[in-house]
Chain A
Amino acid sequence: MEQIENFFKIKHLYHRAGFGIAYPDLQKASNRNFHKAVKHLFSQAAAVDPGLTTVDQGETRQQLLRQAGLGAKKELTPAESEQRKTILRMQNAKSRDLNITWIQKMIDSESPLLEKMTLFWHGHFACRSNNPYYAQQLNNIQRKNALGSFKTLVMEVSQSPAMLQYLNNQQNRKNRPNENFARELMELFTLGRGNYTEKDVKEAARAFTGWSYNREGDFEFRRNLHDEGNKTFLGKTGNFDGEAIIDIILEQPAAAEFICKKLYTFFVNDQPNEIHIKELARHFNAKSYNVAAVMEKMFKSDWFYDAENRGNKIKSPAELLVSLSKTFYVNYQKPQVLIQLQSSLGQYLFNPPNVAGWPGGKNWIDSSSLMLRMKIPSLVLNDGLIDFSGKADPEDEALLAINRKGKARPVKSYINAATDWPRFLASLPKDCSAEKLAAFLLQPGLNAKIKSLIDHKATLKNIAIEITSTPEYQLC
């Protein structure tokens, strides 16, 4: 009995802390104490990770210099105009490469927790950059510090060219402050509304004057643009610079609670539980903002495995695509399709809607995105076909005839992916029944409806396609 309970606990853990788990790994882990599974996730995440290396710094710099040169000219010759377009095209192509490399990394990674945390910070410190090198740099900062010190993470994000540019800190100068960065730092990154005043925003903006970056893509403090006067910020007065402001922010009790609430709604439940969040926040504070410590606390808490916290979170598009591809060993012949899917589903990575990130939860779902989500597994796994004909009655047949309009199904769907079915099927236990497969693939508990819906006589392959085409599969 304990082993069965362990099986489902570990499956839950791996869907939240990662992107799912293969059957043999799950079986092996469930024979052991589940704390070992938690430990394993963290030890994988502690391994050295080079991050994303798709975009070459030197190449991007050359392009930028060339672009700046062209931009400074009053009139461009046709050749120069063409060159400018070529540079833009190359940068866009690089940005797409970067996106695909990351989503592929999430699928293949040996440390799922690290990628999942990176995905969390990617949404928390939401940023857009036309410069693929800056975007990559920020993503790597978020990965490097994903489970480290939150303070270091905030500092490095705040000093990254991508964020400085996105939130206009390049324009934040002594006597001409731009408050955008200071405001979002407090409202969205650290404290949340209601924990600072408009005056605090203004004073903090003054402290961040001169925070800038150079053409190498490195942070640069421009002392001549910095406001050296006294600032009064959250009750303290002094000649503060940006680092001092971040220190003072993190002295506020609101900061740990704000971050833990975000972690909770991302990893545990859309509906925040104040008691659990306070418990995490106390620990986060006690451990000096060590992210690994607070995550370990979460994954080891009994409430993390409560029935109300299992199988009830709507997968983000990234989670859906990554877990599906990972489970079925999908190989995308044209990986660009992954970008198309992200965009249609409403989560184009590296392109959040605004600095507040993707709102998540029920916001992922509308009529068109839900129908597409339920269609994707069959498109990816089986060229769009859900082999389900066992129960048709004469009226259904009539309807089928109208719908199909006599057209044979296309040989290849636009997704153009190859599923390693032999590998997937070989990973399942020998006596795998339709129900057992459903219990493995779905996070919500099996109900009578799913049991009666799945075609018990079909092959495991067809059953897998049916199960992944349900609303239940949208949850983790």
Chain B
Amino acid sequence: MKRRDFLRNTIFTSAGALMVPAFLKPFEALALDELSRYKNLVVIQLSGGNDGLNTVVPYGNDIYYQKRRSIAIKPQELIKLNDMQGLHPQLSALKEIYDQGWMTIINDVGYPNPDRSHFRSMDIWQTASDANQFLTTGWIGRYLDSDCNTCKFPYTAIEVDDSLSLAMKGQTKKGIALKDPAVLFRNTNEPFFKEMILQEEKEHLDEDNLGYLYKTMIETSSSANYIHHTSKTFQNKSVYPNTAFSNQLKTISRFISSGLKTRIYYVSLSGFDTHVNQKQQQGNLLKQYAEGINAFLKDLKEHNKLDDTLVMTFSEFGRRVEQNASNGTDHGTANNMFLFGGKLKKQGIFNPAPRLGDLDGGDLKYQVDFRQVYATVLDKWLDVNNGDILNRKFNPLDFI
């Protein structure tokens, strides 16, 4: 039998068991992984610069009420966490999560010489660079590049979206962007493309650009088949709110619960650039966020996956402490980050509330460098050395 025919005859023998070009060999290593629990990281990006001070409100500090005359949230409306900070009322769905010990809040996360441009600051967060450094690879991409034990598959990182964020792009390896596994599966199985993949011989897979294109195509196709076949059998009966964000989380939950060997999932919720009439706009988004998270975590718990999952939420910057004249807030600096999961070491509020009396030109000073949070996740959750990924060593924190 010719190699081509062999491939053709075996590629779809049965759902889930598919033949992939030999150089990929993604399944050989599975047996070992199967023995240990498979840890996942879910990164949630809140795009636009979420106003952290109206998300976790420092109601115990009078300065908050002085600086935010018309948009401050009254103490009696808040979900109080301690005598200093409370959650925005639209985050009520997180109360239950918080009480279960599934949530950690890190206050004042930022970086030196903060940039107020959405694009630039998002770049900095996604590439984990310094403020004056331009990197073309993302921090998750560099994790993929490191070819470590936990990241060898082409589907190690999935972004549930139409296009791939810089965070997910490495030099030699990249994550996969897909909104619906069935659509990607249909695309890669377009008869003409399938024929090209089947015909491909190794001689084209050099390190040159053409080889790179073919390698990407073959990996995409093999991953699309794997993801589609693995996840399609899983029936998710949990009820999620009917929002785009919740649907994305539902897709991730399906992937995790069906046993997909993916380490990192990435998803975004946008619209947080609230310069004008912030109250309603931010409230709607926070509600979508909290209700989605609530459904997602409970779903994972039900499928016994919560202990293996760590969810991390960030936004590219916070807002200025003082509100503006249009009942909104302008671009600021440090912000809070949220972590969720069943295995949090330090639950609840991780560090002191923002010091509103000690500002830098009207902006919060950061207490924690965001790369320390990444470092913690890399060292303690993904089992790699953070210095290898972040280009220099950062001190990890003690939340997992």
Contact surface of A with B, Cβ cutoff 8 Å: 73-76, 128, 183, 188, 270, 312-314, 344, 346, 353-356, 359, 361-363, 365-371, 374-375, 386, 388-389, 391-393, 395-396, 399-400, 403, 444, 447, 449, 452-453, 466, 469-472, 474-475
Contact = CB atoms under 8 A, between A and B. Distances in A.
Contact of A366 (B169, B199, B210): B169
Nearest to B200: A449
A367 B134 contact: no
Contact of B209 (A188, A313, A355, A453): A313
B217 A370 contact: yes
Contacts of B216: 365-367, 370
B177 interface: yes
B120 A367 contact: no
A75 B277 CA distance: 12
A453 B195 contact: yes
Given A366-B174, A472-B210, 13 more contacts: A356-B134, A356-B136, A359-B136, A368-B177, A369-B164, A375-B187, A386-B192, A388-B192, A389-B191, A391-B191, A449-B196, A471-B196, A471-B214
A403 B188 CA distance: 11
B210 A363 contact: no
Contacts of B163: 344, 346, 368-369
Nearest to A396: B191
B124 to A, nearest CB: 9
25 contacts: A74-B325, A313-B209, A344-B162, A344-B163, A353-B123, A356-B136, A359-B136, A366-B175, A366-B176, A366-B177, A367-B177, A368-B163, A369-B163, A370-B213, A370-B216, A371-B184, A371-B217, A371-B220, A375-B187, A386-B190, A388-B191, A388-B195, A391-B195, A395-B8, A400-B191
Contacts of A362: 171, 209, 212
Contacts of A367: 164, 174-178, 184, 216, 219-220, 223
Interface in B71-110: none
Nearest to A198: B132
B193 interface: yes
Contacts of A399: 12, 189, 194
B8 A366 contact: no
Given A344-B162, A366-B177, A368-B176, A312 B209 contact: yes
Q: Which 3 A-B pairs have the closest CB atoms?
A: A471-B213, A367-B220, A359-B136
Nearest to A452: B199
A356 B212 CA distance: 24
Contacts of B194: 396, 399
A474 B191 contact: no
Contacts of A353: 119, 123, 166
B164 A368 contact: yes
Contacts of B9: 395
Contacts, number: 126
A401 to B, nearest CB: 12
Nearest to A404: B186
Contacts of B204: 447, 449
B192 A466 contact: yes
Contacts of A354: 119-120, 123, 134
B169 A363 contact: yes
Given A356-B134, A447-B204, A449-B199, A475 B210 contact: yes
Nearest to B220: A367
A363 B136 contact: yes
Contacts of A403: 186, 189
A44 B30 CA distance: 60
Contacts of B184: 367-368, 371
Nearest to A344: B163
A344 B326 CA distance: 34
Determine which residue in B119, B123, B190, B220 has the highest number of CB atoms from chain A within 10 A of its CB, and name it: B190
Determine which residue in A366, A391, A447 has the highest number of CB atoms from chain B within 10 A of its CB, and name it: A366
Contact of A395 (B12, B168, B223): B12
B164 A366 contact: yes
Contact of A312 (B132, B177, B208, B223): B208
B210 A444 contact: yes
A356 to B, nearest CB: 4
Contact of B196 (A312, A361, A470): A470
Contact of B193 (A374, A447, A452): A374
B302 interface: no
A386 B169 CA distance: 30
B176 A471 contact: no
Nearest to B192: A388
A392 B198 CA distance: 12
A375 B213 CA distance: 14
Contacts of A73: 325
B220 A370 contact: yes
A270 B208 CA distance: 10
A138 to B, nearest CB: 17
B201 interface: yes
Contacts of A359: 136
